[in-house]
Amino acid sequence: MSYEPEHPEHGGVPDHTLLGPDPEPIGHRNHLPLLAPASNGRAARPKTCPLAAALGNQTPCTGGDCLYFRIPGVPLACAVEHWAPEARHDQALAHWFLARRLQAAGAPD
């Protein structure tokens, strides 16, 4: 006994000529979170850097100079506060984030 699956060209599967154009062209997919324009409800910049706070400093957030500021797809202004809110109180975790920031900047270890 042999089994031969039905090929689409021989079966009742409709092709593009019967279905028509794509009902949702790529240019109209603005509902995707990463492609949507920034909303006004986005959280403001934190007053103090969470990484500095973990080390006992009250250094203000540097904003655009920081690697973790305004990351696309992150709802908070500071990605560290979104990814690891406990970093504000955990020195080891804060040191890890600071080391990654230095690596991204190309600084020697």
Asked if residue 67 is part of any domain, the answer here is yes
Asked if residue 52 is part of any domain, the answer here is yes
Whole-structure pTM value: 0.57
Q: Pick from 67, 66, 65, 63: which is nearest to 43 by CA? A: 63
What residue numbers bound the domain in which 62 lies?
A: 43-109
Which residues are paired to 69 by β-bridges? 78
- 106 dihedral zone (left: phi>0; alpha: psi -120 to 50; beta): left
Average pLDDT over residues 31-36: 51
The band of 44, judged by pLDDT with boundaries at 50, 70 and 90, is confident
Asked if residue 95 is part of any domain, the answer here is yes
Asked if residue 31 is part of any domain, the answer here is no
Please give the residue that has the higher pLDDT: either 10 or 50. Answer: 50
Asked if residue 71 is part of any domain, the answer here is yes
Asked if residue 93 is part of any domain, the answer here is yes
CA distance 22 to 60: 49
Q: Is the pLDDT of residue 30 over 60?
A: no
Instruction: Tell me how many domains the chain contains.
Output: 1
Q: What is the mean pLDDT of the chain?
A: 77
* Per-residue pLDDT tens over the stretch 50-104: 999 999 988 899 888 899 999 898 899 999 999 999 999 999 999 999 999 889 8
Asked if residue 100 is part of any domain, the answer here is yes
Asked if residue 105 is part of any domain, the answer here is yes
